[in-house]
């Protein structure tokens, strides 16, 4: 049997057949290869106890601990229960075993003895406990080679020990296993080959062994990811697309003549770059990042008009309905009569902008679909509804994705499939640290708009600590009133929609903290009848219908609402230049980048703006320090780096792009930045010289597998 065949074998066909079903259902492990890639979570020295305060409720764990005492109880139903107290030397934890037999006390649960206990961590009152754990004693004969004991992510019926034995058995039978990494990389970076790395990681004799293996798997992870990007890039270069060169005498020219402001240098330069790429016979794939308010919309619009001038259509994808309507509104406003096709007062060569969202009435939807299909709508703006089957464009030439971090690569592909390979422009206002950009958007070219349009005044951001100064809350509301009296408008952002709500995606809630006191639906009447009496208040949150939300946003944009009390639905893209005040309540519930985003809703006009971050966190807390950081700089890139340094890896990737969370097992974006860059360079070089990887069949196979695995994962999600 070849190494490849060995890895692809189903566990059911090996000596592990009896456990195959358990492995499949509990750990999603079906093949030998998958089992070998079930890596230890950590290692223990023989005799070293597991720190009990490291356990989390709900986790399946194997704990090495010392028995303090054990006792058998009889329940009212005459069942025998055994309570066992164990310790790590500092803390204690209890375990309950059912159907206890008196001889257990004598022969197993002897005080002072050390054992391995595997089970699910439950909460019992204030304490954690293991319920009926599987028990192994370390002084029972079990040969452990080397000095370290691997501890695997376990599951019901599959203890760490059982998994270890299974993996050892498989490794003992393995023929030479195929190597996905190219020799050149292995040599240059002194990596151990795959087969040896497996032995080291599953059966190390020292921590150094583990590190040697981890370095190799990090490389593998980075290299495979970058090779995938390199192939996608290569594929995109090879794919044909309709060239969309700039034409004179069209909509773009007409727009440039009526544009109310001069473009910034960056807007001009990136505009030219996009025009160049749109004129190519293969699809553009570009990410445009730029601070909130840097003017990405105009750049995108000019690219769309270039495409419209060649007879094509453009689609703009927004993450929420509010934003879809808002984009449509600002595009129409920028275009003026140029968007008035078929209307009285429309320009001669006008186009039209339609909206398509999930919650439109059937009639609205039919109308929008027809305009998209017959091409009379040059620009279609929508949410994921634009991705649905049944949406047919006449000639889709460009897809603009706003705020990419809410859309995955796969959605981009779906949309791409609706046109003959349309050009793709992704916009993001979340400044992305370079390492994250190449890890998550490695198949895109990246441009940045770094300057803000002239005439913006900076936002004065302040932390308002209401614990230390309870009276400051009154001052906050007075400040809101002053903004309104000066003719401006204010946003008030709450973590919750309603006070009785459970935390949800829009209801920001941090488990470690008591529930926020601030909820849109409760605060509105409170302020209306109190501190903000006499002002025109309105609520905006995700539970409102699309029409309702749009009506509120339009009223706010027209200045008919003074104060908008909202959840984070206003986070991205909302653009009302007259809004000069923002109050974020319980601001410590929000992430650094999120606060920066929120703050970007103000400071869009020439008037001075203020952003108040209200918190009841104590002065020395980490949460307070984060808020102070946001208050101290307006540089989104700096804040993004800080965010990356502060948060857990998965959270960062999760925000940037949903659905990729699981893919990084070894890499840490912060620590491994150099490695990731080096891997990218080598992977692109390799794919450049051998695009189909004919000379690297094992790598090619591994990449196909990565893609399949991801597809399965997405189906499940």
Q: How far is the CB of 629 from Mg ion (least distance, A)?
A: 24
Q: Does 293 bind ligand ADP (CB under 6 A)?
A: yes
Q: Report which of 528, 529, 531, 558 is spatially closest to residue 539, judged by C-alpha positions.
A: 528
Residue of 162, 216, 233, 296 that binds ligand ADP (CB under 6 A): 296
Q: How far is the CB of 402 from ligand ADP (least distance, A)?
A: 8
Residue nearest to ligand ADP (CB): 295
Q: How far is the CB of 702 from ligand ADP (least distance, A)?
A: 39
Select 429 or 546, whichever has its Cβ closest to ligand ADP.
Answer: 429
CA 626 to chain centre: 20
Q: In the range 452-471, which residues lie near ligand ADP by CB under 6 A?
A: 453
Residue of 182, 204, 295, 495 that binds ligand ADP (CB under 6 A): 295
Q: Does 573 bind Mg ion (CB under 5 A)?
A: yes
Which range of residues in 196-204, 235-243, 517-525, 571-579 is near Mg ion by CB under 5 A?
Answer: 571-579
Q: Does 293 bind Mg ion (CB under 5 A)?
A: no
| DSSP run (H or E) holding 172 | helix 160-173
Strands 114-124 vs 396-402: parallel, antiparallel or unpaired: unpaired
Select 579 or 642, whichever has its Cβ closest to ligand ADP.
Answer: 579
Distance, CA of 564 to CA of 220 (rounded, Å)? 49
Distance, CA of 295 to CA of 515 (rounded, Å)? 37
Distance, CA of 599 to CA of 582 (rounded, Å)? 7
Residue 298 site contact among Mg ion, ligand ADP, none (CB < 5 to 8 Å, cut-off depends on kind): ligand ADP
Q: Does 263 bind ligand ADP (CB under 6 A)?
A: yes
Q: How far is the CB of 256 from ligand ADP (least distance, A)?
A: 12
Select 518 or 556, whichever has its Cβ closest to ligand ADP.
Answer: 556
Residue 292 site contact among ligand ADP, Mg ion, none (CB < 5 to 8 Å, cut-off depends on kind): ligand ADP
Distance, CA of 580 to CA of 603 (rounded, Å)? 6
Q: Does 271 bind Mg ion (CB under 5 A)?
A: no
Q: How far is the CB of 568 from Mg ion (least distance, A)?
A: 16
Q: Does 271 bind ligand ADP (CB under 6 A)?
A: no
Select 153 or 431, whichever has its Cβ closest to ligand ADP.
Answer: 431
Which range of residues in 168-176, 260-268, 536-544, 684-692 is near ligand ADP by CB under 6 A?
Answer: 260-268
Select 472 or 637, whichever has its Cβ closest to Mg ion.
Answer: 637
Per-residue DSSP letters for 514-581?
PPPS-BHHHHHHHHHTTTTTTS-EEEE-TTS-HHHHHHHHHHHHTT--SEEEE-GGGSSS---TTEEE
CB 188 within 8 A of CB 219: no
Q: How far is the CB of 441 from ligand ADP (least distance, A)?
A: 17
Distance, CA of 394 to CA of 407 (rounded, Å)? 24
Q: Does 408 bind Mg ion (CB under 5 A)?
A: no
Q: How far is the CB of 572 from ligand ADP (least distance, A)?
A: 8
Distance, CA of 17 to CA of 9 (rounded, Å)? 11
Q: In the range 421-450, which residues lie near ligand ADP by CB under 6 A?
A: 429
Q: How far is the CB of 302 from ligand ADP (least distance, A)?
A: 11
Q: Does 294 bind ligand ADP (CB under 6 A)?
A: yes
Q: Does 218 bind ligand ADP (CB under 6 A)?
A: no
Residue of 220, 309, 550, 575 that binds ligand ADP (CB under 6 A): 575
Q: How far is the CB of 636 from ligand ADP (least distance, A)?
A: 11
Which range of residues in 115-123, 228-236, 257-265, 528-536 is near ligand ADP by CB under 6 A?
Answer: 257-265
Distance, CA of 69 to CA of 298 (rounded, Å)? 72
Contacts of 429 (CB under 8 A, 6+ apart): 289, 290, 291, 292, 294, 296, 403, 572, 573, 597, 600, 636
Select 38 or 601, whichever has its Cβ closest to Mg ion.
Answer: 601
Residue of 292, 317, 669, 693 that binds ligand ADP (CB under 6 A): 292
Q: Report which of 427, 477, 420 is spatially closest to residue 448, judged by C-alpha positions.
A: 427
Token look-up 């020990």 returns 161
Distance, CA of 516 to CA of 437 (rounded, Å)? 33
CB 313 within 8 A of CB 395: yes
Select 542 or 573, whichever has its Cβ closest to Mg ion.
Answer: 573
SS3 at position 249: coil
Per-residue DSSP letters for 183-223?
HHHHHHTTPPPHHHHHHHHHS-SSHHHHHHHHHHHHHHHHH
Q: How far is the CB of 638 from Mg ion (least distance, A)?
A: 21
Q: In the range 579-618, which residues lie near ligand ADP by CB under 6 A?
A: 604
Query: For residue 49, which phi and psi values (nearest 5 degrees)?
Result: -90, 150
Distance, CA of 279 to CA of 287 (rounded, Å)? 17
Select 222 or 353, whichever has its Cβ closest to ligand ADP.
Answer: 353
Which range of residues in 158-166, 263-271, 348-356, 621-629 is near ligand ADP by CB under 6 A?
Answer: 263-271
Select 283 or 293, whichever has its Cβ closest to ligand ADP.
Answer: 293
Distance, CA of 119 to CA of 515 (rounded, Å)? 31
Distance, CA of 139 to CA of 115 (rounded, Å)? 8
Residue of 235, 261, 482, 525 that binds ligand ADP (CB under 6 A): 261
Which range of residues in 288-296, 383-391, 435-443, 457-465 is near ligand ADP by CB under 6 A?
Answer: 288-296
CB 598 within 8 A of CB 584: yes
Q: Which residues of the chain form contacts with Mg ion (CB under 5 A)?
A: 573
Q: Which residues of the chain form contacts with ligand ADP (CB under 6 A)?
A: 261, 263-264, 267, 290, 292-298, 429, 453, 573, 575, 577, 604
């Amino acid at each position: 049997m070849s190494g490849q065949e060995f890895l692809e074998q189903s566990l059911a066909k090996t000596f592990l057949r009896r456990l195959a079903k358990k492995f499949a259902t509990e750990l999603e492990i079906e093949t030998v290869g998958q089992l070998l890639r079930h890596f230890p979570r950590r290692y223990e020295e023989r005799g070293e106890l597991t720190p009990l305060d490291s356990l989390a409720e709900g986790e399946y764990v194997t704990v090495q601990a010392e028995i303090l005492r054990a006792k058998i109880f009889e329940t009212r139903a005459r069942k025998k229960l055994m309570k066992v107290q164990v310790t790590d030397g500092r803390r204690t934890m209890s375990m309950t075993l059912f159907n206890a037999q008196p001889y257990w006390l004598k022969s197993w649960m002897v005080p002072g003895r050390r054992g391995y206990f595997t089970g699910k961590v439950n909460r019992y009152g204030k304490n954690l406990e293991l319920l009926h754990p599987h028990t192994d004693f370390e002084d029972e004969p079990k040969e452990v080679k080397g000095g370290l004991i691997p501890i695997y992510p376990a599951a019901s019926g599959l203890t760490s020990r059982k998994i270890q034995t299974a993996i050892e058995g498989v490794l003992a039978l393995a023929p030479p296993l195929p190597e996905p990494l190219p020799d050149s990389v292995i040599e240059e970076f002194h990596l151990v080959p795959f087969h040896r790395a497996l032995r080291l990681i599953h059966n190390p004799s020292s921590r150094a062994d583990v590190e040697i293996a981890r370095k190799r798997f990090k490389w593998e992870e980075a290299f495979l990811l970058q090779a995938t990007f390199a192939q996608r890039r290569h594929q995109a270069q090879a794919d044909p697309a309709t060239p969309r060169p700039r034409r004179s005498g069209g909509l773009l020219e007409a727009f440039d003549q009526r544009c109310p402001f001069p473009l910034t240098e960056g807007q001009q330069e990136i505009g030219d770059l996009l025009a160049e790429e749109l004129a190519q016979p293969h699809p553009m794939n570009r990410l445009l990042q730029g601070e909130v308010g840097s003017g990405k919309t105009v750049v995108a619009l000019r690219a769309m008009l270039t495409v419209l001038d060649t007879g094509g259509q453009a689609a703009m994808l927004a993450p929420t309905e509010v934003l879809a309507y808002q984009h449509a509104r600002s595009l129409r406003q920028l275009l003026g009569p140029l968007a008035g096709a078929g209307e009285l007062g429309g320009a001669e060569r006008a186009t039209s902008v339609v909206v398509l969202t999930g919650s439109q009435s059937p009639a609205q939807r039919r109308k929008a679909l027809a305009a998209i299909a017959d091409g009379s709508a040059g620009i279609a703006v929508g949410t994921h509804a634009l991705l649905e089957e049944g949406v047919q464009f006449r000639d889709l030439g460009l897809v603009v994705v706003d705020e990419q971090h809410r859309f995955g690569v796969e959605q981009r592909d779906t949309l791409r499939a609706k046109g003959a390979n349309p050009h793709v422009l992704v916009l993001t206002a979340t400044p992305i640290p370079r390492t994250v950009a190449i890890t998550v958007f490695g198949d895109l070219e990246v441009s940045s708009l770094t300057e803000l349009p002239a005439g913006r005044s900076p936002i004065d951001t302040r932390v308002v600590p209401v614990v230390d100064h309870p009276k400051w809350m009154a001052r906050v509301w007075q400040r809101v009133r002053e903004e309104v009296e000066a003719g401006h408008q204010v946003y008030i952002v709450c973590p919750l929609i309603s006070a009785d709500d459970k935390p949800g995606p829009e209801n920001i809630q941090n488990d470690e903290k008591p529930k926020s006191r601030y909820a849109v639906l409760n605060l509105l009447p409170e302020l209306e009848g109190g501190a903000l009496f006499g002002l025109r208040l309105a609520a905006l949150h995700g539970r409102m219908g699309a029409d309702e939300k749009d009506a509120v946003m339009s009223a706010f944009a027209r200045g008919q609402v003074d104060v908008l009390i909202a959840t984070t639905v206003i986070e991205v893209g909302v653009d009302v230049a007259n809004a000069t005040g923002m109050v974020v309540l319980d601001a410590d519930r929000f992430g650094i980048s999120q606060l920066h985003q929120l703050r970007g809703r103000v400071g869009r006009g020439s008037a001075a703006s203020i952003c108040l971050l209200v918190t009841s966190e104590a002065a020395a807390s980490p949460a307070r320090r984060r808020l102070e950081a946001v208050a101290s700089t307006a540089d989104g890139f700096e804040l993004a780096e800080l965010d990356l340094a502060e948060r857990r890896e998965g959270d960062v990737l999760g925000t940037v792009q949903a659905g990729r969370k699981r893919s990084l097992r070894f890499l840490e974006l912060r620590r491994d930045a150099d490695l990731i860059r080096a891997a990218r360079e080598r992977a692109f070089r390799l794919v450049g010289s051998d695009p189909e990887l004919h000379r690297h069949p094992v790598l090619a196979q591994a990449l196909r597998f990565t893609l399949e695995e991801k597809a399965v994962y997405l189906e499940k999600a």
